[in-house]
Amino acid sequence: MDIKSIFLDSISISLFLLVACSIVFVYLNIFYFIYLKVPTLSANNKVIEKILRSIDFKGRKKFYDLGSGNGKLISGVASLYPDLECIGIEYNIAAYYCAKTRNIFLKNKVSYLRENFFKVNLDDADIVYIYLFPGVMNRLEAKLANELKSGTVVVVNSFPLKSKEPKKIIRRKFGALDTLYIYEY
């Protein structure tokens, strides 16, 4: 075997693994959507910028992202606020490992829990970010009311809480998606 054929073989194997992993990732996301009724949603970069500009992180110690997906938001928050402990909660195994890989080089206090966020106690949260479908949001409201301490800021993307008035609404120029609803408990 010559160097050229070894190189081509390794490229072929790498491409095959990339395609195989992509297919597995897609099927896992479909499975979790059907099984849990929760798709993996990802905030776009402009929304992440809005969140980072709109929230006062000073004096806050713990940031939770419920259904953290690929960890894009936590990466941004942890990079700008190194003293803030950032916790992503994600049940989808593919998204969970994607997030852990994305944040492997951050030296901040970033951690991920592969758990159902309904089973995680949020009583130490200072800021909570949520981007979930309305059916899940309706179930989550009671948990937030029971567990969050006074002064906790909750940022909701696109699908507002029904039983609480937002302190602030940051609208997108067109459409309801990516509108941010900011609540204080």
Average pLDDT over residues 5-11: 65
- Which has the higher per-residue pLDDT, 182 or 34? 182
Give the pLDDT confidence score for residue 116 in this predicted structure: 92
Q: Tokens 């809480």 correspond to what residue?
A: 161
- The beta strand positions in the chain, using DSSP E, are 62-66, 85-89, 110-113, 127-130, 153-157, 168-170, 180-184
Computed over every residue of the chain, the mean pLDDT equals: 83
Report the C-alpha gap between 82 and 42 in whole angstroms: 22
pLDDT at 72 over 80: yes
pLDDT band (50, 70, 90) for residue 48: confident
Using alpha carbons, list the distances in angstroms from residue 1 to 4, 10, 15, 56, 95. Answer: 8, 13, 20, 61, 39
Q: Is the pLDDT of residue 158 over 60?
A: yes
Higher per-residue pLDDT: 10 or 75: 75
C-alpha dihedral (24, 139, 102, 75), degrees to nearest 10:
160
The pair of three-digit structure tokens given for residue 166, joined into one six-digit string: 């937002």
